[in-house]
């Protein structure tokens, strides 16, 4: 994968610069985020970093990982202009081979991206009492856009099964995606607290 995905996503961001524009952070992240001063978060596939920037504004130190340099450059410029450059740590990395070296994150977030094995691997990085939030697209016949790979889409109720053991589910929902998105898609979200 890696080089193909890197080229694909860099090209996509250049072709659709609206994807790089500042966007509101995830509603569920805003709703459930514990107070942040001194806390640490990991934003997996952060893109241009709408959620990383929000986390940093709330006082979190954020490791923001993505394969697309174009997106990380945008995040970094925005972090600097908002005075958040000491809070946001962009990491250019292929998540297929990303090792969670740091432990003790207060929050791990995967938004609009799905890698089931990465969820399992990164659970270790979350401390007890910390929150794991996954919010991404699911398979649905009314979706306006077909995913290039069916495996990139969640099945109905799937996130509950992924956080069955060792987690308390604080929130679960399936809903139509946000108005600012280009295509109508069904999404699924979970907020799971590690026990």
Ligand X SMILES: C[S@@+](CC[C@H](N)C(=O)[O-])C[C@H]1O[C@@H](n2cnc3c(N)ncnc32)[C@H](O)[C@@H]1O
Chain positions contacting ligand X, by CB under 6 A: 5, 9, 45-47, 50-51, 66-68, 71, 94-96, 111-113
Are residues 124 and 103 in contact, defined by beta-carbon separation less than 8 angstroms? yes
Please report how close the Cβ of residue 103 comes to ligand X at its closest, in angstroms. 20
Beta bridge partners of 192: 132, 169
Please report how close the Cβ of residue 39 comes to ligand X at its closest, in angstroms. 19
**180 CB-near residues (< 8 Å, 6+ apart):** 23, 24
Closest to ligand X by CB, 89 or 113: 113
Please report how close the Cβ of residue 51 comes to ligand X at its closest, in angstroms. 6
Please report how close the Cβ of residue 168 comes to ligand X at its closest, in angstroms. 24
Closest to ligand X by CB, 124 or 178: 178
Closest to ligand X by CB, 37 or 131: 131
């Amino acid at each position: 994968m890696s080089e193909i995905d890197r080229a694909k996503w860099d090209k996509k961001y250049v072709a659709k610069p609206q994807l790089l524009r500042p966007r509101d952070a995830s509603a569920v992240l805003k709703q459930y985020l514990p107070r942040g001063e001194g806390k640490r978060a990991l934003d997996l596939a952060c893109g241009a970093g709408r959620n990383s920037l929000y986390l940093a504004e709330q006082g979190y130190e954020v490791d923001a990982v993505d394969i697309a340099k174009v997106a990380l450059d945008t995040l970094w410029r925005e972090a600097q202009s908002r005075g958040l450059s000491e809070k946001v740590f962009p990491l250019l990395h292929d998540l297929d081979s990303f090792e969670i070296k740091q432990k003790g994150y207060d929050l791990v977030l995967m938004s609009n991206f799905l890698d089931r094995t990465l969820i399992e691997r990164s659970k270790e990085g979350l401390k007890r009492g910390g929150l794991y939030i996954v919010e991404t697209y699911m398979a649905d016949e009314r979706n306006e856009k077909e995913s290039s790979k069916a495996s990139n889409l969640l099945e109905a109720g799937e996130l509950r099964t992924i956080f069955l053991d060792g987690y308390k589910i604080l929130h679960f929902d399936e809903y139509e995606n946000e108005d600012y998105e280009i295509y109508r898609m069904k999404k699924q979200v979970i907020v799971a607290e590690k026990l």
